[in-house]
Each structure stands twice: as structure tokens, then as C-alpha cells.
Chain A
């Protein structure tokens, strides 16, 4: 044992001994000399002890007290085995004498300390991110958590398999701090398991070229199983196979598809399979071939005119209805241009529109919107991601001669609308108000059990005032629609507007009412009524009937985010002012290379178009006789976007269909807008490493020279559709590197963009898929790892719980604080001091 003084400078306090002695020498005390000397000694001793206490002395000795951490693996690969083993082990230790101090550490991807074993069940594996095993992090956590003044030991109950981190790196620091780790091997549960370990195929094939998709299946039982191959989400093949324990390899033969990028997934189905998370894996194959264009049309058969014309020009047109919109970026990447042919925004989910925006902006795809009665503003594209990338505005100023519109919005404000629904409804109402001109009229009715005017019918000039009143709507109460309709009827009847329209929105079931009579009265007053049903609990039948009786339109949505689009569309449709259906001839506004060779002088009439307004930096190549945009385009991000405000079918373009320049015109427009393939590509790769994704681009030209003046970045879209930008940094001459952490399972789409002096120089698309975590890979216990952990730290592999504590004969440094004991001694001396001052002395001679 030795002493340590934390505040040694306090020793200066011993100077006080000098005045004590001096005053003793000059003492007037009546006591005998002997008593006086005694008092002096006591006083000096008291001062010395007080100074000693001020120095905050600590005694450093050793102690055999032990602290144990029971570190238990709660990851999916071991299931409950480790916890059961640990519980039995600890019970045996406790019955053999126990330990001085203990605590539990439960871990998987995260770690959690539990002091009381009665609370172990409160920590469920999911809380610890049980699809990961991070042994390294756990041992560092344990290292930092050991209490001072105890011999440090831990018992690790695990299969030794780590999916992230390097546990061996953490062992030397543990050894240096005297932490001993004993390891108890845990065998993973022997449940029947079969998994798809990998799917591989050539990265690139030629169109129609046969190739093989190879899959590796791991099983721990001999059994029959069914392997399914999916191509772009559709079943492309099935095989019944016999799997044996261990690695099995199977193949499918496929041909290079017409799609540029094809996703192949393999799924295995086997009886008695325990974990289904690892039954599927994915890969991508890129097929080189002709450029592809996808047209989404409200009437696919109407697109045949365009399709035939383009086929003659060597362009393949893939025609689908709106429901055929690609679900993911991978599939969308197959196409070099996307055409919206009179499909309204309400036919898509908002996330699909965001996807299209990303496809154009970050991945260089092209977009063309054709006109129609469901296009642009009429299609509800106002304030959507699509409107942002279009070269024209979807709202515009009304013509003076257009009739005024009186619009009443009847919005359900019952309690069930609270949250996102009511906020979207309010946003939708504000958007509708924005679309109206100053000569239009608008009113907003809120209803629950009662009805009230949030904003009475008034001219739509005071938009900010109307917005405030709309914002004041708060959800509460039940649903009674009929009184609200009566109020709307009463309001609109008195309105001086020429056109009158009512939009009803509700998510619930109304109390009974005379709906048919009310609507009939409205139609008698030439008021049209449209309805929007939100969610599966709404009275869809009633709302559909209301729209039908009211000569309006019925919408159903279960995505509150699409309500603003519906309202925008309705407002534009009701105002009847965006369509210009008079014959006109197209006028070339400015010469363009891509329109060269087309004789517009011979072009026949177009019979109508949608009124739009060109955005400031867009180019209007063709205009109408009134000067409105007919064909506009601009570059948005990496892609090009065009707008043709008339159509390409037998409504407005019926005469154009017979024009000899029809096919050439569309072919040239489409070629201008589609993704450019003229930019150079460089060898690039994405790799998944333990620390995340790493992307490497070798900027080497065709002659092998390094290009060192390029800057790079990656436009990344993760599986949830979230976009981000990753900067590429120079790693070496001619090499750019970057990386990111995966945020979850799925496919990551990366567009590598290289620039020289700020101008695009190269663009390349890559993807990588994060499959199921390595935790599900059905690996056996890593006994070697467990042995190494134990040996490196001086622990025992698979120790006997009865002997574990007994065998521990180390001692730990222990510090004791001494000043309170010293003060206790001072107290004792003080009492003595008073005693010797006050106790009468025996008089001499008596």
C-alpha cells in the first residue's frame, strides 16, 4: 500500500505550528506546565491532522474484489441460445459463491448494460438492432464500463461471428487495461434453413444475347425446394430443385432483354424454412441496344398513331396506361425518354412523380408532356414535382373573355381528418385559390356535425386573407354533409359568377340526408359538383353518386398527398379556360437544328391546345397564332424536358396524322429530348465494404492517359427514393473515389457525373443492391475467433462456471479516501483537548 496526496500544497498549512508554539510560550494560562505542554501537543496534533486532511490523501492498495460482465449475444444468428446458456452459467456461478460485482451487457448491433437481471427481459433483441453483430463495439463498450477498484473480467456468450467491425483490433487495449475475456461458444440454432446466398449474371449483354443467371443456395437440410426467377418483378422462370446441405448452385438461361437495365431476382421457397428474410437476392443486367421510349397514355390505343410513325423512324415506343408507370428507378432507367400523353397527375402517387423528377434531373432521362384535357394544369400538375421540371407553367392568367367561376370547397373537418389529411386538404384549398383569377369567386366550407363558412364566398383577389381563413380550420367532431351542401347551394345561388362548381372532400360516412334532392337543386341552379373520397373508410358509393348527380367528377385516393393535385385539376377543369379549341397553324418561333428538314409550311391545322405560359429560361420553338407556347423545351439537371401543348392523336391532331412530316417531326423531337449517349464513359465500380459503399472511377481516356482535371460527384438515390449528392475525391492520378453508408436494404442507384471546368464531361449509371444482412447467412460458429479472444486477453475458452471465480487470483488497484478518517481522529483529539483544558488539576499539597 502507498499513499498519494492530491493537494500536496496544503502542507503549507503547517506554518500554523509556529504561532501555536509562540503563543504557548507567552501563555497566561493558569494550568500547570505539564498540563500546558499536554494542551500544546494536542493542539499541534490537531493542526497537523487538519492539514493532512486538506491534502486529500488516498491510500492505494490492491483488492481481490472482482467485477464480471456477462456479455450476451442477442443477434439473430444465435437466437435465444446465448441468453439461455448465459443464464444457466450465471446461476451456476452464483451457486458456487457468486462474484463481488456483476452486470449484464446485451449486444447485437448496439449494446445495453443491465444492472439487474430481473430487467433483462425488458431489452428485446430488436432494440439492439439484431440484424448486425458488432463484437468490436461491444467490447469497447465493456472496456469503458468497468467500475474502478475491481478485477476486471467478462464472459462472452457468442457464436464469434461479427458482421461489422474488427474485434481483434479491440483486444490489445483490453489486455493493456487488465480486462480478461472468457468466451463461451454458442452454436447457432439448428432450425431448418435455406437461403439465397447470391445471384450473379454478366454485367452487360447484348440484346437477344443468351446468358446465364447463376444462383448459389445454402441449405442445412437435404430437401426439395422451388426456385423462382423474377425479371423486373415478374415471374420469368421456376425450377423445382433438390438441395443438399452446404452450397448448391443452379442456373437459369435468359436472353438479353429489350430493357436497357433488367433486374433479376431469385427467390427460394422450401418447407420448414425458418427465416424468410434471406430467401431472395437481386442483380442487374445491362443490355445494350436501341434507344427506348415509354409513353404513358390515358388511352393507349390512341398512341398507336405515334407508335407507328416512330417505328418507321427506327424508334421503339413502349405504350402503357398510367398504371404501367415503372415502380423503381432501375426500371425507369431502361428508357431514354418518358412521354406523358394526357395522363393526369392524380393517376400517379406523389412518390412516382418525384421519381420522374429524379430520373430527369439526376440521371439524364428525358420527359415530354403532350397536351389534352388531362394534361398540364388540367391534369393537376400544378405545384407538383413535374410542374417544376416542365418548361411551361401549369397555371396562367385567365383571358378576359373567359367566364368567371364561382367555386365552393366543402371540406370535412371531422376528427378523423386530423393530421396529414386536414393539412393536405388545407393546402389543396389554398392551391385552388391561387389558381383562380381576381374575377373568380371562392368560398370554403368546413363541416363536422355542424357547417360553417371558413371563408364566405368572395372574390378571389384577397388570396392571403383567404389563406389565413383556410389555415384556421381545425379538425374535430363528427360528419354531417347534407347541411354543408345546403349552405354551399345557398351561397352559390347568390353568386354572380357565370360558372359555378362545388368540390366535396370527406374521409368518412356522413349522417343521413337528402343528398339527391340537394344535388338536384344544385344542378338546377347550374352548379356542378365533384367529390373526393379519402381513404377506405369513406362512403365511396355516396360520393360517387353525388358526382354523378352533380355532373362532376369522382375521385378516390388513399394518399392525402395527392389531394392538392386533385383540387388543382378540378379547379382548372371547372374554369374551362385553359383549353383553346380553335384551329390554328403552328408558327416556327425560332430556328432549331432538331426541326430542320421539316416543312412547317405544309403542316395542316391543329384543332386545339392547352393554354400555358413558357418559363423564363425555356425555349419556345413552335408557337400558336396567338403567341402561346406550342412546343417548348429546356434542360433540367442532366436531362431535357419538352412540352407540346397540342396532342398527337385524332382529337386535335387529326389532320396532322395524315401529314407526311408527322413521323419525322416526332422522331426529331424525341431524339432531341431523349437521354444523350454521347458523353464518354469511364471504368467505374461500386463495391460494398464493411464500412459502406465505395465507388471508384478511373478517369483514363481511350489511350490510357490519366485525366486529372476532372471533378466528380455522384447523384445517389437510395432504396427509399431519397436523393443525395456524394463528392468524389482524387485518390491518385486518374482516380476518383467516394463512399457512403447504406441506409437499408434495397437497390442504390448512382449516377456518376464528371465535369471539366463545370461542364458535364461524362455520365455513367451504376447500381448496387444491399441484400439481407450477413447475419442471415447461416454461418457456423467461429470457434477460432472465440479462442483467439480468450487467449489474447488471458481468458479461458469455454470455462467451467464452478471454477471460474475460484481460478481468478488477480488483484486490482484500490483507492481509499482517507480524509474523513483523519477528521474523525481530529474529533477525538478535540474532545481530549477540551477535557484537559476543563478538568480540574489536583492542587499540590492537598
Chain B
């Protein structure tokens, strides 16, 4: 047995006054009586009394010493032989990923894990400490290292499940740092092992894992997302994916709602491991809320993936500033486009209105004019700029060029056909670094620029009146593509769902409840000795002390002891 406070044994000196008290003889009181007959009859019996009566005084003393020892033992904070006296600094990591909400009988994996954590806290000795970390990304420190069980329990109470799949690795790294290189096994992870990204094998093997949850099947929605069409404004595509990871076929239905109105109901019959996908296409420029729900599937132990909701943003109105004099054909093209607001700005009006227009213009079209460098971050179409700028340096004028090749792919050039375009002449530029050539005439750039995520400008270095481009479908298609590309980035939304890995409820660790029996922590009794071994010894000594108080009092009042 180890003693955490052996100094308590100095109190043993109190035995000295106790012994002295029992060496004091009692002085008998003198009482007058009328006859000695009673005492003469009693005296032989007294002298022939049993041994224990004669030793009563010393037995009493022994009892007092026993109580003294009980108190000293309690004060010295003993540890049972199977427990180490080394302080343990545990780092408890709790996995709050959505799969922990899966039902296990009358409870959930989450509740089971919390009970295990609570039990672990109960087993802490007074000099142990623990920290509690929630395995989110980034990790949440619910409680730093502390020996106060109440703080840890309060922290455990505050832990909540998450909706989205979590990466447990940052939490395990933080926990390993806290535990230190020398004691990696003082990290204890409470999880069902359902992860998208499995931590490093060496890390997993060095820590302790309490796995909750049996392998169960599940039918759930794994993807529900919406995206507007890249080519046709107003069109949108909606996809849903349902996966069944059970071991028996199931059947049910999927219902789709738009703004709480049922728009589709599909009966589903799924085999084990089957993934069902469906796409819907429709047209709307308005904002809408879509909800999809699974109904009628039996024995579904995981409910978080049975419903999903996604909101479609309204079709964005693109504002266009046309920096030019009145130009009929350009204005006609702009009028033909959906969800476009345009206005014409006289060339001289740019600087006066620039602060307003900068904030609002989605696209600026310069015709026979050009922007200065300060406007190069605004998406721009430069038609016949007639000057040098951030786009390139003018070289010479080329007469009657023939379009030999053009780019057919990409957001800006899709469906644009330059095969029969005629140009009288164009300005040959040396494009600035980073520019791409969209249309060329035997290696000479006719249309060039940069139209990607970071910068958007395109240069048509020729006068529209010197070509038949405006009479061809290529021109409105090109303008339409540029406008449509400005709507990208906000045109897709995805529902918050646990995700494929979480919905499958399949552990990457293998199956089995409680991979590690909590008895292995070293702070409890040997396996199989039961709950009473987790109660500290000093507490038992105090209980024995209370029993002594009552028993000794009884013996004293009945004059069995002195």
C-alpha cells in the first residue's frame, strides 16, 4: 500500500496520552451503606469474573488505538496495492461527429460515449488530472488539465454533437502534445471510429481508444445540392444521392419539396450497398428552398441524414456599364440578355462616376475607348481600344486577316463559332504576360485576354463596323458567355449533411464495443473486482470510523468497555 501523505503518521504520538489516560486509576467514591451483606456475597463473584472482564480496561484501550489508526490511515491517503502512486494526466478526447447520434438500443452512441467519459472522470484519484477536448476541427478545449471533477463534468455537459463530418486529427495532435511524447497512452479517445480521414496509424496505435457502437446499417441522403446552369440563365440542376449500407434490401420513398410544396415523390427499393442518384432540371430565376426527405424506411438508426435542405439563390442581375457613344448594335445585344441591367456612360463621365460604378458594375464594355490601370480589376471587354495599356502594346495594323483558329472550350468561348467571321482589319497587339489568345490568325492574336477566376478582361482590337461580327450569332453568344461567367461562384449550394462516410456508419477501426476495457487505465481495480474498487480507501476508513463511533458508544454505555 502506498501513502500519498505519510506525514499523517506523526499523529500516532496521540497514542501516548491515550495510553496514559488508561493508566490512571479511578478513585472510588465512598458511599455509606446500612449493611455489607450484599458486597460480601458479590465479592467472590467479582474476583472470579471472566478474563475479558478483568482485561476490560485494556480492551477498551485497544479500541481507542484502533480508532486512532483508522483516522490516521484516512488522513495518510492510502492507495491500494494495484494502483500506482504516479500522477496521471489524462487527455480525454470526445468525437462529436454526426454518426455518434446513431441509436444504440434505447440510447445513442453519443450518450454511451459521454457515460464512459463520466465514468473515467469518476475514477480519477484526488491527485490525478484530466483535460477534455472535443474532436472538432479546430479542436475545442472544453476543459484544461484539472483535478476538479466538477469542472470536468460541467465541461462534459457542454459538449454538443456537430452536423458536419469532423476531422479528428487536429484534436489528437493537440491531445498528444498535451500528454507529451513520454506518455502517449494518456490520450484516451472516445469514438465510434466513423471518419472520413483516418489519422496516422502510428498515432492511433499509441493512444487508447474507447470505441462505441456496433456496426449497423443505415439508409441516408449523402448528397443534396443545386447548381445553376453555366450556359442557360435561369436553368438549374438539383441532385440527390441516397445510399443504403445495411445488409438487407429496404424500401421507402423520397419526397422532394420546393418551398414546402411537394413536387416529386419517388418510391425507392435499395439493395445492400446500393447508391441511388437522381437529377432534376428546371427553370427559375427566383430564390427557392428545396427539401428532400426519406419516408417509410424501416429500422433507421441514424436520423440526421433522413432530411436535407438547400436554398437556391436568385439569378444574379449583372450590371453592365457601356462606356461609349450611342451604339445601336451593342445596345441591342445587351437588351436581349436576361437579368442584365445596363447603362451607357459617356467616355468623359467615367472619372466622375467611377466611385459609384466601381461598386456596382459587374462588367464594363469599352468601345472605342479604354480604361486606365486603376480599373483593371473590373471585368472588362475592350473593343477597339486604340491605345496601349495593361492588356498589351500595339504593334501594327493588319488588313483582311483570316481567322485560322479559335479556342472552343471554356466559359467565355463555349458555342462561339468564328469560322465565317470577316474582318477588314485589326490592330495587332503584343499581349501582356499572362494573356491567352482566344482567336488567332496564323499565330497573330485577334481576340486575346485573360478570363479566369482572378482576372477578367478580353480585348477585341478591331472596330465592329469594320467586321461582320455583330451580324453573326457569335457576338451575342460571346457577350452572353461573359455575362454568364460573372454569375459563377454563387450559383451552387450544397446541403449540410453528415456525408458519405458518416452515413455509412462504418468504423475504420473495426467493430466491437469497448476495444479497451476501462479497467486497463490503471486507476481502478483489477478487472472483475467491481465498482467498489474505484472508491478511494480513505473513504472506507472513514466509514469504518463511523461504525466504530457507534459500536464503541454502545459498548461503553453498556459498560462492556470502559
Which residue in A23, A136, A735, A844 is a CB contact (below 8 Å) of B29? A844
Q: How far is the CA of A29 from the CA of B26 in the complex (A)?
A: 14
B557 & A29 in contact (Cβ 8 Å cutoff): yes
- Shortest distance in angstroms between B557's beta carbon and chain A's nearest beta carbon? 4
Residues of A within 8 A of B26 (CB): 838, 840
Which residue in B18, B74, B126, B239 is a CB contact (below 8 Å) of A831? B18
Q: How far is the CA of A838 from the CA of B18 in the complex (A)?
A: 9
Asked if B131 is at the interface (CB within 8 A of a chain A CB), the reply is yes
A704 & B27 in contact (Cβ 8 Å cutoff): no
A838 & B542 in contact (Cβ 8 Å cutoff): no
Q: How far is the CA of A708 from the CA of B410 in the complex (A)?
A: 19
Of A139-147, A306-314, A350-358, A628-636, the one touching chain B: A139-147
B553 & A169 in contact (Cβ 8 Å cutoff): no
Of B105-113, B138-146, B362-370, the one touching chain A: B138-146
Q: How far is the CA of A214 from the CA of B434 in the complex (A)?
A: 9
Which residue in A51, A169, A214, A845 is a CB contact (below 8 Å) of B546? A51
Which residue in A24, A43, A837 is a CB contact (below 8 Å) of B562? A837
Asked if A830 is at the interface (CB within 8 A of a chain B CB), the reply is yes
B223 & A730 in contact (Cβ 8 Å cutoff): yes
Within 8 A of B (CB), among A9-41: 13, 16, 19-20, 23-24, 26-30, 39
Of A89-97, A240-248, A384-392, A815-823, the one touching chain B: A815-823
Asked if A596 is at the interface (CB within 8 A of a chain B CB), the reply is no
Q: How far is the CA of A47 from the CA of B67 in the complex (A)?
A: 13
Asked if A373 is at the interface (CB within 8 A of a chain B CB), the reply is no
Q: With A140-B141, A824-B75, A843-B30 as known contacts, state yes or no: A54 contacts B539, CB within 8 Å.
A: yes
**Smallest CB gap from A107: residue in B:** B177
Q: With A23-B557, A28-B559 as known contacts, state yes or no: A835 contacts B21, CB within 8 Å.
A: yes
B553 & A165 in contact (Cβ 8 Å cutoff): no
Asked if A280 is at the interface (CB within 8 A of a chain B CB), the reply is no
Residues of A within 8 A of B37 (CB): none
Q: How far is the CA of A110 from the CA of B500 in the complex (A)?
A: 32
Interface string of B225-242 (1 = CB under 8 A from A): 111011110000111010
- Shortest distance in angstroms between B529's beta carbon and chain A's nearest beta carbon? 21
B150 & A6 in contact (Cβ 8 Å cutoff): yes
Residues of B within 8 A of A148 (CB): 144-148, 151
Asked if A290 is at the interface (CB within 8 A of a chain B CB), the reply is no
Q: How far is the CA of A27 from the CA of B28 in the complex (A)?
A: 19
Closest 4 CB pairs of A and B: A704-B231, A732-B492, A838-B21, A733-B237
Asked if B549 is at the interface (CB within 8 A of a chain A CB), the reply is yes
Q: With A50-B542, A144-B133, A730-B239 as known contacts, state yes or no: A173 contacts B140, CB within 8 Å.
A: yes
Q: With A51-B546, A137-B174, A148-B146 as known contacts, state yes or no: A708 contacts B277, CB within 8 Å.
A: yes
Q: How far is the CA of A111 from the CA of B178 in the complex (A)?
A: 9
Q: How far is the CA of A594 from the CA of B115 in the complex (A)?
A: 69
Known: A110-B177, A732-B494. 10 other contacts (CB 8 A): A16-B549, A50-B549, A144-B145, A148-B144, A148-B145, A166-B138, A732-B239, A734-B227, A826-B71, A831-B14
B21 & A29 in contact (Cβ 8 Å cutoff): no
Asked if B475 is at the interface (CB within 8 A of a chain A CB), the reply is no
Asked if B120 is at the interface (CB within 8 A of a chain A CB), the reply is no
**Smallest CB gap from A204: residue in B:** B436
Q: How far is the CA of A564 from the CA of B126 in the complex (A)?
A: 62
Q: How far is the CA of A475 from the CA of B155 in the complex (A)?
A: 59
Q: How far is the CA of A6 from the CA of B150 in the complex (A)?
A: 8
Q: How far is the CA of A137 from the CA of B150 in the complex (A)?
A: 26
Q: With A704-B230, A730-B223, A838-B22 as known contacts, state yes or no: A817 contacts B126, CB within 8 Å.
A: yes
A735 & B227 in contact (Cβ 8 Å cutoff): yes
Residues of A within 8 A of B22 (CB): 838
Q: Which of B126, B146, B557 has the most CB of A within 10 A?
A: B557
Q: How far is the CA of A143 from the CA of B443 in the complex (A)?
A: 62
Which residue in A29, A170, A706, A730 is a CB contact (below 8 Å) of B556? A29
A730 & B225 in contact (Cβ 8 Å cutoff): yes
Asked if B408 is at the interface (CB within 8 A of a chain A CB), the reply is yes
Q: How far is the CA of A823 from the CA of B64 in the complex (A)?
A: 15
Which residue in A26, A28, A834 is a CB contact (below 8 Å) of B21? A834
**Smallest CB gap from A830: residue in B:** B67
B18 & A733 in contact (Cβ 8 Å cutoff): no
Which residue in B144, B223, B494 is a CB contact (below 8 Å) of A145? B144
Asked if A416 is at the interface (CB within 8 A of a chain B CB), the reply is no
Q: How far is the CA of A141 from the CA of B173 in the complex (A)?
A: 10
Interface SS of B by simple majority: mixed
Residues of B within 8 A of A708 (CB): 237, 239, 277, 279
A731 & B225 in contact (Cβ 8 Å cutoff): yes
Residues of B within 8 A of A831 (CB): 14, 17-18
Q: How far is the CA of A606 from the CA of B83 in the complex (A)?
A: 83
Interface string of A98-117 (1 = CB under 8 A from B): 00000000000011100000
**Smallest CB gap from A19: residue in B:** B550
Asked if A4 is at the interface (CB within 8 A of a chain B CB), the reply is yes
B559 & A29 in contact (Cβ 8 Å cutoff): yes
Q: How far is the CA of A732 from the CA of B225 in the complex (A)?
A: 5
Asked if A700 is at the interface (CB within 8 A of a chain B CB), the reply is yes
Within 8 A of A (CB), among B128-163: 131, 133, 138-141, 144-151
A47 & B549 in contact (Cβ 8 Å cutoff): yes
**Smallest CB gap from A28: residue in B:** B559
B554 & A23 in contact (Cβ 8 Å cutoff): yes
Residues of B within 8 A of A143 (CB): 141, 144
Residues of A within 8 A of B239 (CB): 708, 730, 732-733
- Shortest distance in angstroms between A718's beta carbon and chain B's nearest beta carbon? 15
Asked if B260 is at the interface (CB within 8 A of a chain A CB), the reply is no
B21 & A732 in contact (Cβ 8 Å cutoff): no
- Shortest distance in angstroms between A105's beta carbon and chain B's nearest beta carbon? 10
Q: How far is the CA of A823 from the CA of B70 in the complex (A)?
A: 10
Asked if B24 is at the interface (CB within 8 A of a chain A CB), the reply is yes
Q: With A703-B415, A730-B241, A815-B148 as known contacts, state yes or no: A214 contacts B227, CB within 8 Å.
A: no
Residues of A within 8 A of B150 (CB): 4, 6
Residues of B within 8 A of A202 (CB): 434, 436
Q: How far is the CA of A24 from the CA of B553 in the complex (A)?
A: 8
Asked if B50 is at the interface (CB within 8 A of a chain A CB), the reply is no
A43 & B144 in contact (Cβ 8 Å cutoff): no
B277 & A709 in contact (Cβ 8 Å cutoff): yes
Interface string of A684-725 (1 = CB under 8 A from B): 000000000000000010111110110000000000000000
- Shortest distance in angstroms between A838's beta carbon and chain B's nearest beta carbon? 4
B174 & A141 in contact (Cβ 8 Å cutoff): yes
B174 & A19 in contact (Cβ 8 Å cutoff): no
A46 & B549 in contact (Cβ 8 Å cutoff): yes
Interface string of A148-186 (1 = CB under 8 A from B): 100000000000000001100110010001000000000
Asked if B11 is at the interface (CB within 8 A of a chain A CB), the reply is yes
Asked if A846 is at the interface (CB within 8 A of a chain B CB), the reply is yes
**Smallest CB gap from B139: residue in A:** A140
Asked if B558 is at the interface (CB within 8 A of a chain A CB), the reply is yes
Q: Which of B68, B241, B414, B433 has the most CB of A within 10 A?
A: B433
Residues of B within 8 A of A790 (CB): none
Q: With A143-B144, A148-B148, A202-B434 as known contacts, state yes or no: A50 contacts B230, CB within 8 Å.
A: no
- Shortest distance in angstroms between B501's beta carbon and chain A's nearest beta carbon? 10
Chosen A-B contacts, 16 in total, with CB atoms closer than 8 Å, are: A19-B553, A28-B558, A29-B556, A43-B549, A145-B178, A148-B148, A166-B138, A177-B144, A706-B229, A731-B225, A731-B494, A733-B237, A733-B238, A815-B148, A827-B11, A827-B68
Q: How far is the CA of A456 from the CA of B15 in the complex (A)?
A: 85
Within 8 A of A (CB), among B222-281: 223, 225-227, 229-232, 237-239, 241, 277, 279
- Shortest distance in angstroms between B11's beta carbon and chain A's nearest beta carbon? 6
Which residue in B138, B229, B230, B550 is a CB contact (below 8 Å) of A136? B138
Asked if A234 is at the interface (CB within 8 A of a chain B CB), the reply is no
Which residue in A145, A839, A844 is a CB contact (below 8 Å) of B24? A839
B223 & A823 in contact (Cβ 8 Å cutoff): no
Q: How far is the CA of A78 from the CA of B57 in the complex (A)?
A: 79
Which residue in A200, A702, A838, A845 is a CB contact (below 8 Å) of B408? A702
A20 & B237 in contact (Cβ 8 Å cutoff): no
**Smallest CB gap from B143: residue in A:** A144
